[in-house]
A and B are shown apart, each in its own frame.
Chain A
Amino acid sequence: MLTRRQMLKAGLAGGGYALLGGGYVLLGPGRSRRVFADQLPSSPPTTPFLEELPIAPIAQPVARFATRPDPTNCVNVDGTTAIHVSGPRVVPTNAQFFLIHERQALHSFHPRLPPSSVWGYNGMVPGPTFLGRSGTPVLVRFVNDLPTNDPVGIGEPISAVHRHGGFQAPEDDGYPLDTFCTGQSRDYFYPQTPAPNVFGLPNPEQNEESTMWYHDHAIDITGPNVYRGLAGFFLNFDEVDSFLGEEDPNPRALRLPGRMRGQVREFDIPIVIQDKLFDQDGRLVFDTFDHNGFLGDKFVLNGKIQPFLRVKRRKYRFRFLNGSNARFYQLFLRNGGPFDFVIAADDHLFPRPLLNQKSIILGPAERAEVVIDFSRFPSNTEVILENRLEQDDGRKPDSLVSTGTPLLKFIVNGDVADPSRVPDTLRPILIGPAQILPFVTVKRTFDFERSDGAWQINGEFFDENRINAKPKVNTAEIWTIKSGGGWTHPVHIHLSSFFVLSRNGSSPLPLERARKDTIDVGAFFTQEVKILAMFPRYTGSYVFHCHNIEHEDMRMMAQFENQP
């Protein structure tokens, strides 16, 4: 039998479906730095491109309801409450209300595999997509209906929901100890306003968010809970990057690809990429003993292994999210040339689109938005989105291979009108490092390091009662983030996106030209990254952590507490 590691590598070397009868593959020369016995099976073979890429349904608002105080944090100990508590709220009258149930469901990842037991928001993998609008606040009640007697053994039925990239108060941020249990719910309020600029600087509209995602964030078990399926998109629209998209008559609107037809958003497609592992019976597998970062050997897009997507000969906007626990991707278009436009990374549109980008690197939790113009291709062309980045453990991505693993096949067919455009100016940065840096007085260094079999930040593990930094609210600081020792850490900072100032003293990467909320530091990238971290509006504590979720669960996390 093949080892799991051979399969992980072969999935790349063999183009993902070079399986010969009986589950054997032709292997290229493998490196010999395997240091532990393989304990996990490799997934059974699956034929790619059998099913169409699903697009998660749009979350639908419900009638306004009375908000409740936050739960008492599950435990039946007197006086125990969540860290950040909010009582019944005064929710603005124009707010939209949503009700989402976290529940177990059977989900088919591939037609040749039996359905797997997943945990999803409304039982879906990925969860419903929120289409938020700037100026319309959102209140979501997440109800934990997860089973307490789950026979699968992946995840625990305890939850905290983090809207990743979102600007929200501490009590609405999904702090890992603000949990709610089976039978409980928690209300999360999202103000849907752009973060104000720090130091009282003007032009908050430049900080409108674009592509966010929401996922579980409970202490100890975020990795298995997210892997089991608790993740979904939260998109935000404003006057410029508008809900009406390409059909918007407003002269300020960018008219990027995308429009609404009933409850379907067309030509603007969010795609979450995740790696999963299945046993020989086709059941979802996870390894809670792999603390380095769990890797799968099947590539799941919006819940399906290697699907296809029929597209018309016109422009499409794709919002890619790496929703994997520990895997990095470098996306290419096979037979497709470069990506015509890259327009955003994480949750912020670029000032100007990046043209003809050959590839896109995505670390865990990172997002990138591209526009692909399929009118470049004749009908019946097949263009493959592939990953060429090899990775065989949770430490770091390894190297690029010339032929990658197919993730998604675009089948180009037929013409349709295309009123969309990609303007030369997207969202200008009026208040950037040049405007902010003169006010900055504090700098900090955070060293993300491997130590004694676990991961620390500045020599310390996350402790719920330790404040690692106390920035003054509405200021910014220069943070130097370091990672040595051969590990890569995708570092995520809650509350506010940051500007990337430099990598090892040189310019940031092309996709780091606007604000980011997650940054890859360490091997394969640079050992040092300087960022301009910002702490707008809210006082209180927020976490920052490695988004290799196994590292996060092992307490590679710290917190800052904005001071009044």
Chain B
Amino acid sequence: MTPPRTALALALIIALGAAGCSERPAAPPQRPPAARAAPAPPDPVATIRDRHLPNIELVTHEGRRVHFYDDLVRGKVVAINFMFATCRVACPLATEHLVEVQKSLGDRAGRDVTLLSISLDPERDTPEVLRGYAEAHGVGPGWYFLTGKRDDIEMLRRKLGAYELDPVIDADPKQHTGIVILGNEPAGRWKAISVLSKPVRIRQAIERTILPATQWPTGEAVVKESPREETEVGKELVQPGDLADLPVRD
């Protein structure tokens, strides 16, 4: 199952590391007489694939049959969310945010990152319906709307962590989780951010997924990419009665 190339590359990196990056072939390193040697480093890419990235069959809004892992995720940076076309609660805003993210990514969308929106209502969300949805929202290239078998999608949703622990909320499609799951599959790096965050912050989180940590956007410049806000939500003036009901302490 492990892609042999990845394993080989890893082994090579380790071998180089052990040899101190010397250009000459080094003598095999002396093993300390440890009681237990460290096992080979795990391959996070393979581990994550096996646990979280099932190779289920899906159909794109363009009618193409694809496999989730092999065709959509493997070797890519992806941003994944769950939606359905008739959702009227958070989905429209979510899609709006992702459209803005896609626009701001420019030609990096599709090239450096692939957007995947997976339907939670796969029976009604046929490829035709999803194509209409994509067109209506002005979705550009590098973004796939996907439908498939309900059980498969349900499994995928859970494996990607897009579930609610409260089964009542989890069973209510109107309250489905609004997270966008960000993954750099070949690097084994995965995280999530709310799709209701500001598009600029979603885009920066995507950039932090694409780029190595040494090039992450984190500084003053990226902070100031959006206007400064001072929203003192929850601020009030103390009223005389506020102090009366505080319990006496110690």
The residues of A with any CB-CB pair to B shorter than 8 Å are 33, 35-37, 39-40, 72-77, 79-83, 85, 106, 111, 113-117, 148-149, 151-154, 156-158, 177, 179, 181-183, 219-221, 279, 281-283, 288-292, 351-352, 393-395, 429, 432-433, 437-438, 440-447, 451-454, 456, 458-461, 463-470, 478, 485-486, 499, 501-502, 505-508, 513, 530, 553-555
Contacts and interface: CB of A to CB of B under 8 A. Distances in A.
Interface in B36-50: 36-39, 41-45, 47-48
B196 A461 contact: yes
B223 A177 contact: yes
Given A81-B221, A151-B10, A153-B45, 4 more contacts: A106-B38, A220-B205, A433-B249, A554-B194
A37 B170 CA distance: 14
Q: Which of B223, B227, B233, B245 counts the most A-chain CB atoms under 10 A from its CB?
A: B233
Given A151-B43, A460-B233, A466-B231, A502 B52 contact: no
Given A151-B41, A289-B52, A452-B194, A443 B159 contact: no
B175 interface: yes
A115 B35 CA distance: 10
Given A73-B220, A467-B230, A115 B36 contact: yes
B51 A117 contact: no
A382 to B, nearest CB: 26
Interface of B: 10, 13-14, 34-39, 41-45, 47-48, 51-52, 90, 155, 158-167, 170, 175-179, 181, 188-198, 201, 205, 208, 212-238, 242-243, 245-247, 249-250
Nearest to A73: B219
Nearest to A72: B219
B232 A351 contact: no
B214 A148 contact: yes
A74 B217 CA distance: 8
Contacts of B219: 72-75, 77, 80-83, 177
A181 B176 contact: no
A83 B223 contact: yes
A76 B217 CA distance: 9
A149 B41 CA distance: 12
Given A37-B158, A429-B250, A508-B249, A458 B226 contact: no
Contact of A291 (B179, B212, B222): B179
B223 A453 contact: no
Contact of B234 (A106, A393, A395, A458): A458
Contact of A75 (B47, B218, B227): B218
Contacts of B51: 39-40
Contacts of A393: 165
Given A39-B159, A79-B221, A292-B165, A463 B201 contact: yes
A170 to B, nearest CB: 13
Contacts of B191: 220-221, 288, 553
A465 B224 contact: yes
A463 B226 contact: yes
18 contacts: A74-B215, A81-B219, A148-B214, A151-B14, A151-B42, A151-B43, A157-B213, A181-B216, A219-B218, A393-B165, A440-B238, A452-B177, A452-B178, A458-B233, A461-B196, A465-B226, A466-B228, A467-B231
B197 A465 contact: no
Contacts of A501: 246-247, 249
A292 B166 CA distance: 11
A441 B246 CA distance: 15
A157 B249 CA distance: 45
Contact of B247 (A153, A432, A458, A507): A507
Q: Which of B51, B165, B205 counts the most A-chain CB atoms under 10 A from its CB?
A: B165
Contacts of A470: 230, 232
B47 A444 contact: no
B139 to A, nearest CB: 21
Contact of B167 (A33, A179, A507): A33
A285 B65 CA distance: 34
A177 B233 CA distance: 23
A273 B57 CA distance: 44
A71 to B, nearest CB: 9
Contact of A505 (B188, B245, B250): B245
B44 A114 contact: no
**6 A-B pairs with the lowest CB-CB distances in the bound complex, closest first:** A453-B177, A153-B44, A73-B219, A452-B178, A289-B161, A80-B219
